[in-house]
A and B are shown apart, each in its own frame.
Chain A
Amino acid sequence: MVSITLENLTKMYGNTIAVKDVNLQIKDKEFFVFLGPSGCGKTTTLLAIAGLIKADAGEIWIGDELVTSAEKGIHKPPQERGIAMVFQDYAIYPHMTVFDNIAFPLTISKVKKDEIKERVKKTAELLGISQLLNRKPRQLSGGQRQRVALGRAIVRRPKVFLMDEPLANLDAKLRVQTRTELKKLQLELGVTTVYVTHDQVEAMTMADKIMVLRDGLVEQIGTPDDLYNHPSNTFVAGFIGSPEMNFIDCTLVEEREKLCLDAKEFKISLPAETFPKLKSYIGEEVIMGIRPEDIYESKSVKGTTQDNAVKMTLDLIEPVGPFLLLHLRAGRIPFVATVKQTRAKLGQEVVMEMDFDKIHIFDKKTAKAIL
């Protein structure tokens, strides 16, 4: 059982906060992703778990061992934490052969020669790089280097994998391919993994759980499904999902016993069951959020009489292959919608419906989700 627990982890660089008060629980065998834009503190958190930087406050537990505690002055060195790390630039030793690179952690910990040979061989087979063992890193392609780095991590049989954007330096096609392989490998080895990335697609596809960070603060922790369907604030809502969620500034008003979102250019009324959650916001400014796939062309000819329908002008159609990206406008408010097909022509007015169940409402002042 190798779980990882962070309690109030804080790291400062001078007066700048790198990460503040991170609390989280990573379960055994879980694939846990730290997601956020650059400079959000995700790598800092990872390095703190690795023991490569000292925390300024808080505790880190790996399994039932306290490895970092700023308060108690505990800081176990990286090699005593049972971790293995993969870096964005692979960090393989340029002067050593692939064999020596993979064997390095074993030679350092004075494993017997025969065993080293055996383990390096097995690892290389697992990763399909057996034929490269005598090569030097400069003779390898990016993808091969990445495997060597992975091999060096696997060979030590660590309790935890820490990966810092390991796919970022690969080209697009290879990245997708390696993503799948990496996930399979993790399932096969069953090792608890912490993975840092700024790529939300990577996070969504690979993670069991995701922590979204911004400016050193935790924005949300949850499963990919949670984050996508129930983002806790506008940042998470906007960061996850592509194309991005539509955000519209509205005022919440009560009209004829019904709650309405008034965006000046249009108005939609909300179903009655939302009333209890929203009633305290009546008269307040809110942000409505709706994902492009939750807007669709109205089938009814009646059009705008429906509660959830809005008249829009079609500005542009972008075919993306499996679907079409419609750039629409309701008055001056821009919308993006993804649809399978459309009969509408550019410049035409279309009636678009919004899926009520998928509408998000955020408090404008705090950016936090209300609904």
Chain B
Amino acid sequence: MRIPNPRRIFLYILLIFFAFVFLLPLWTDITTSFKSIHDIIYTIPVEPPLSPTIEPLITAFNIMERPLLNSLTFTAVATLFSCLLGSINGYALTKIRFRGANTMFLLFSIGIFLPYQAVLVPLVLTMSRLGLYNSIGGLILTHTTYGITITTLLFRNFYGLIPDSLIMAAKTDGAGTWTIYRRIILPLSLLPFVVVAVLQFTSIWNDFLFGVTLARGSEAMPASVALANLKGTTEVNWNVQMAGALWYALPVLIIYLVLGKYLIRGYMAGAIKG
């Protein structure tokens, strides 16, 4: 038998340890979600439930159903819009060298570093004037606008790798600005689309501040806010909270599982030039 390299063994032990540390909270969340209040008192969090029950999951889902749907709706739409606009911006900034393109890009970049808190008051005022306060539409608009900055940056960097000669060739072939975008740029950016969309989806889904400011306690309440509301004021239902967290984590988890391989390929795309 081949004797494994001791350094390799050490590396594996280290990796397993860190994986364990990272997975522990998820494990705790899962075990607690299946416990009754009785089990929570008589077992420590990492222990499996004595008599498993799906009661907490059902309770949490009943409370979270509407907010989860809200979140899914505005996250999906805002992700789509911010990616599409970011892609168009990135194309314009790299391949149509218009006057002031660099200044424009600088302004976009500043947007990335704009702290959320700084825009809250004007944001609420603007949204209520537009009649979009406490509405899904308002959340879509806010997240799309806020997302454009980062998506523009990411797409711009990717499109920088597409050789200009490709655009010039398409131009001499008779393609206009939009045809080039539709027939050349868009088909070439499927991978970055996946990467940027996953990033955007996660960040919009996880947002709490905009949600709580723009749609607290309304029909349009996002799941992140509803989850926070689960904690209650007089009693602490650990199991329902944990079950809620599980429901809340599910969509992002699924997305990462399904698109994981594209994500890694997308991250690598810049490294190897075709």
Residues of chain A having any CB pair with chain B under 8 Å? 47, 50, 52, 77-79, 83-85, 87-89, 91-95, 104-105, 108-109, 138, 149, 152, 156
Q: In whole angstroms, how far apart are the Cα atoms of A105 and B169 in the complex?
A: 10
A156 CA to B179 CA in the complex, in Å?
Answer: 18
A78-B165 in contact given A94-B274, A95-B187 (Cβ < 8 Å): no
Whether the Cβ atoms of A91 and B168 lie closer than 8 Å is: yes
Chain B residue numbers with a CB within 8 Å of A156 are: 173
User: Do residues A108 and B187 form an inter-chain contact, with CB atoms below 8 A?
Assistant: no
How far is B165's CA from A83's CA once the two chains are assembled, in angstroms? Answer: 15
Contacting B168 at CB < 8 Å: which of A87, A92, A138, A152? A87
Instruction: State in angstroms the CA–CA spacing of A88 and B165 once bound together.
Output: 9
Q: Which residues of B contact A (CB under 8 A)?
A: 163, 165-166, 168-175, 179, 183-184, 187-188, 274
Alpha-carbon gap, A89 to B115, bound state (A)? 43
CA separation between A152 and B166, bound complex, in Å? Answer: 13
How many angstroms between the C-alpha atoms of A256 and B175 in the bound complex? 73
Q: Is the CB of B173 within 8 A of A105?
A: yes
A–B pairs, 27, beta carbons within 8 Å: A47-B168, A52-B168, A77-B171, A78-B171, A79-B171, A79-B172, A79-B173, A84-B172, A85-B168, A85-B172, A87-B168, A87-B169, A89-B165, A91-B168, A91-B169, A94-B188, A94-B274, A95-B187, A95-B188, A104-B170, A104-B175, A105-B173, A108-B173, A109-B174, A152-B169, A152-B173, A156-B173
Q: Chain A residues near B169 (CB, 8 Å)?
A: 85, 87, 91-93, 149, 152
Whether A50 and B187, one on each chain, are in contact in the complex, defined by CB atoms closer than 8 angstroms, is no
A-B pairs, top 5 by smallest CB distance, nearest first, are: A79-B174, A91-B165, A105-B173, A91-B169, A87-B165
Nearest-CB residue, chain B, relative to A105: B173
> Are the C-beta atoms of B171 and A91 separated by less than 8 Å?
no
Docked complex Cα distance between A104 and B184 (Å): 11
Interface of B is mostly: helix
Nearest A residue (CB) for B179: A108
Q: A94-B274, A138-B274 are in contact. Are A104 and B165 (CB under 8 A)?
A: no
Residues of B within 8 A of A78 (CB): 168, 171-172, 174
Selected contact of A108 from candidates B166, B175, B188, B274, CB within 8 Å: B175
B163 close to A89 (CB less than 8 A): yes
Most buried by A among B165, B172, B175: B172
Q: Chain A: which residue is nearest B166 at the CB level?
A: A91
What is the CB-to-nearest-CB distance from A141 to chain B, in angstroms, rounded to a whole number?
15
Q: Are A105 and B174 in contact (CB under 8 A)?
A: yes
A321 to chain B, nearest CB (A): 37
- Cβ A104 vs Cβ B173 within 8 A: yes
Q: Which of chain A's residues have a CB closer than 8 A to the CB of B179?
A: 108
Cα–Cα distance between A78 and B184 once the two chains are bound (Å): 17
CB distance from B266 to the nearest CB of A (A): 16
When distances are taken between beta carbons in the complex, the residues of chain A under 8 Å from B274 are 94, 138
Q: Give the interface centre of A79, A89, A91, A109 by most chain B CB atoms within 10 Å.
A: A91
- Besides A78-B168, A108-B175, 7 more A-B contacts (Cβ < 8 Å) are A52-B171, A78-B171, A79-B171, A79-B174, A87-B168, A104-B175, A152-B173
Question: B172: which of A83, A88, A89 is its contact (CB, 8 Å)?
Answer: A83
Smallest CB separation, A153 vs chain B (Å) = 9
Nearest-neighbour CB distance to chain B for A139, whole angstroms, equals 12
Q: Within 8 Å CB of A104, what residues of B?
A: 170, 173, 175, 183
Q: Closest residue of chain A to B174, judged by CB?
A: A79
Q: List, in ascending order, chain A residues with CB within 8 A of B188's CB.
A: 94-95
**Complex-state Cα separation, A83 to B174, whole angstroms:** 10
**Smallest beta-carbon distance B95→chain A, Å:** 12
Interface-central residue, A50, A108, A109, by most chain B CB under 10 Å: A108
- Taking CB atoms, residues of chain A closer than 8 Å to B163 are 89, 91
Report A-chain residues with C-beta under 8 Å of the C-beta of B165: 87-89, 91
Instruction: Collect the chain A residues with CB atoms within 8 Å of residue B174's CB.
Output: 78-79, 105, 108-109
Taking the closest CB of chain B, its distance from the CB of A82, in whole angstroms, is 10
- Could you tell me the distance between the alpha carbons of A138 and B273 in the complex, rounded to whole angstroms? 12
Shortest beta-carbon distance from A137 to chain B in Å: 9
Chain A residues with CB below 8 A from B168, complex form: 47, 50, 52, 78, 85, 87, 91
State the CA gap A105–B172 with chains docked (Å): 8
In the bound complex, CA of A85 to CA of B274 (Å): 22
Chain A residues whose C-beta falls within 8 Å of the C-beta of B183 in the assembled complex: 104
Residues of chain A lying within 8 A (CB to CB) of residue B184: 93
Chain A residue nearest in CB terms to B164: A91
Q: What separation, in Å, do the CA atoms of A87 and B166 have in the docked complex?
A: 9
Q: What's the least CB distance linking B215 to chain A, in Å?
A: 41
Q: Report Cα–Cα, A104/B180, bound state, in Å.
A: 11
Whose C-beta in chain B lies nearest to the C-beta of A77?
A: B171
Residues of chain A contacted by B172 (CB below 8 angstroms): 50, 52, 78-79, 83-85, 105
List, in ascending order, chain A residues with CB within 8 A of B166's CB.
91, 93
Bound together, the chains give a CA A138 to CA B175 distance in angstroms of 23
- Nearest CB in chain B to that of A156: its residue: B173
What's the minimum C-beta distance from A114 to chain B, rounded to whole angstroms?
20
A58→B170 CA distance, assembly (Å): 26
